[in-house]
Amino acid sequence: MSDFSLDLAAEKIYQPQTKEYFKEVLSSYNNGNYRSVVVSLYTVVIADLIFKLKDLIDQEEDSGAQKIIDEIEQMRNRDLTSSKWENTLVERIFTNTKMLDLHDKANIEALKAHRNLSAHPAITQEDVLFTPNKETARSHIRNMLEGVLIKPSMFTSHIVDRIIKNIPELYETWGGFWNTDGSFERVISKKYIRFLNEKGIQRLFRALWKLTFRIENEDTKANIDANSEVLILLQKTHPHLIYSAFDGERNFYSNITLGKLQITFLIDFFKQAPRLFSLLEEEVKAKMVELITGNFARLVNAWFISENSEEHLAKVSYAIHNSQEPIPSSIVIVKSLAEDAGKPGEYNKLIIHNFSKSTSFNNSYELFRQQVRPSLNQFSEEDYKSLFTTMDSTSQIFRLFDLGTMVEEIQVFAKETIGHEIDLSPYTHF
């Protein structure tokens, strides 16, 4: 247990009152008063469970929590000296709210047993008071921190269902097109993910994966943006846990629907987690590669299907050269790919070649405006000459009404970039 910090874990205690009361537990532990540890810890745990129930009532209007509080109050009023209500409290919370797992309940019962031995004047056969050792005291503290104290009131065994239910509403408020500053991710992390243990993270990821990439209905389609963002967030914040989950259930994670919508979001996910793509079953990977390479917009984003950036740039270049029509605006993504591959100049060559495939006057203007003009300040002399050669030999370009204006604009960039204009005498149409 040496790798678990009690002090750091104590900072994560959800209830402010509980956090204050817990200081006495830590103080007793640090001073070696282990009998006091288990006595005060049990009291703090019981108090915290009551605080959590009241939170459920105040924040969630939970009628089940209200019934438990009412029952406990009645028991206490009937016999103010009896502590039987404590057992009932733990039992009702375990049974009705599922806030406690079975092992959490067992740990509380073990703590109470040691608390009774420590608090009552029970004498051992050696005529000494029972005193738990340091390891036992530390074990109790850790069990109560992880199983009870650092969980928020809404942390029940149904937490995954609750999170999934609330994701669409949170995404509508904080996510979507306007989520440029990571607001949605911060809200999800603060409200839910920071309270999940390792098992909870993997359960949430597994459930969202199934909803996003396997089940296909109106609800899953409507929520695929939100759910996929949470999947990416979980992978980003807990990469080792998610890798372990993927590796341990390859069959499950390979059982996916490869429709148009799912492919788009699978690409977005695996761009963030290329290692996980390698864990899919071979036939699923092969099918995905087939669907990706047949669509340029998919291919240019799916660099994870290649061994490295240079290999993927070669695939993208091949697709551009073999396309019957010019590639639309998605080609601009190739610029960063070329830079990653250490071949920034390759992008200029590709957009010039793409320009040569112009299918109409309007298409020529569009390609020039979206692809060529933004890159002119990074052209070499060879690039400018190649561009003029392309324009001079492509009818949909050299017949443009204002070709002269386009040429003049290019020459201005050439003079600024390489120090002189390009000699136009070799060209026929300008």
- Could you read off the pLDDT of 360-418 as tens digits, one per residue? 999 999 999 999 999 999 999 999 999 999 999 999 999 999 999 999 999 999 999 99
pLDDT at 1 over 50: no
Cα 128–29–83 angle (5° rounding)?
70
User: What pLDDT was estimated at residue 153?
Assistant: 75
Question: Pick from 279, 276, 335: which is nearest to 309 by CA?
Answer: 335
Q: 49 near 97, Cβ under 8 Å?
A: no
pLDDT digit string (tens) for 319-353?
999 999 999 877 888 999 999 999 999 999 999 99
Between 139-143, 173-177, 213-217, the lowest mean confidence (pLDDT) is in 173-177
d(CA 209, CA 251): 13
How many Cβ atoms from other residues are within 10 Å of residue 347's Cβ?
A: 24
- pLDDT > 90: percent of the chain: 79
Question: Pick from 44, 45, 64: which is nearest to 54 by CA?
Answer: 64
Cα 325–329–334 angle (5° rounding)?
95
| Torsion sign, CA atoms 416, 418, 424, 425 | positive
User: What pLDDT was estimated at residue 156?
Assistant: 59
d(CA 320, CA 383): 17
Task: Give the CB-side neighbour count of residue 413, counting CA atoms within 13 A.
Answer: 19
User: What pLDDT was estimated at residue 121?
Assistant: 64
Question: Pick from 315, 320, 344: which is nearest to 331 by CA?
Answer: 320
Q: Global pTM?
A: 0.74
How many Cβ atoms from other residues are within 10 Å of residue 311's Cβ?
A: 13
Over residues 204-223, mean pLDDT: 95
pLDDT digit string (tens) for 195-207?
777 888 999 999 9
Report helix, strand or coil for 129. Answer: strand
**3-state DSSP of 356-386:** CCCCCHHHHHHHHHHHHHHHHHHCCHHHHHH
pLDDT digit string (tens) for 96-154?
887 888 999 999 999 999 999 888 765 555 556 788 999 999 999 999 999 999 887 76
Question: Pick from 153, 116, 99, 93: which is nearest to 41 by CA?
Answer: 116
Q: 38 near 115, Cβ under 8 Å?
A: yes
Over residues 170-177, mean pLDDT: 83
Query: How far apart are the two ends of the chain, measured CA to CA in Å?
Result: 79
